[in-house]
Amino acid sequence: NAGVTQTPKFQVLKTGQSMTLQCAQDMNHEYMSWYRQDPGMGLRLIHYSVGAGITDQGEVPNGYNVSRSTTEDFPLRLLSAAPSQTSVYFCASSYSRQGNQPQHFGDGTRLSIL
Amino acid sequence: DQQVKQNSPSLSVQEGRISILNCDYTNSMFDYFLWYKKYPAEGPTFLISISSIKDKNEDGRFTVFLNKSAKHLSLHIVPSQPGDSAVYFCAASATHVSFGAGTTVTVRA
């Protein structure tokens, strides 16, 4: 029972490099989202998807792209890494977007941009 | 501008006593409130929630209280156990879910 799986767990990048953070869920959840966690800021929504082929921006989308070609996968792409993107990134999924649906989180990707 | 605030970054409590975590919010459109628990190197896990039409929800040792007029909610853990040592996030849902910055709870033996 894997739940939400994120890879890699750790990554160090140089400024200007690009990379993709992977996220997969095996619960057939329609709603998936990406958050970043920074000290003193809580979790902030980057992008979200309400189903395959549908994505939208969250609170802090600049510098990130997403796609949702299948129900299971929701990768997050950093286009040109900047030191301000150093953070811990969490992917989450839930049955629906409704507020009473608890989200299931992956264990996070710790990303450092030098 | 943070819509959900947890003003106490940390809380230390003795095993067996009550832990009270507080959360304030500004958006009156929030319709559900949730608490998540997070251990180091793991993702947050759902703990308990409450609808905006309720004022209390209880699940075992965990009780959440909602005071809509004060835009305030609290999580009570009774009795506190060593395994409760974690970071607790308050979250509120409207169009999206907004999270507080978290409170680190340490339960002392």
Nearest CA in chain A to B104: A40
Residue A31 pLDDT > 90: yes
Is A46 at the interface with chain B, CB within 8 A? no
- In tens, the pLDDT along A66-108 reads 999 999 999 999 999 999 999 999 999 999 888 888 999 999 9
Select from B18, B22, B31, B24 the least CA-distant residue to B4: B24
| Pick among A43, A44, A93 to test the B interface (most B CBs inside 10 A) | A43
- In tens, the pLDDT along A3-22 reads 999 999 999 999 999 999 99
> Do residue A99 and residue B89 have CB atoms under 8 angstroms apart?
no
Token output for A37:
């966690």
> Do residue A102 and residue B46 have CB atoms under 8 angstroms apart?
yes
Quick count: other Cβ atoms within 10 Å of Cβ B101? 21
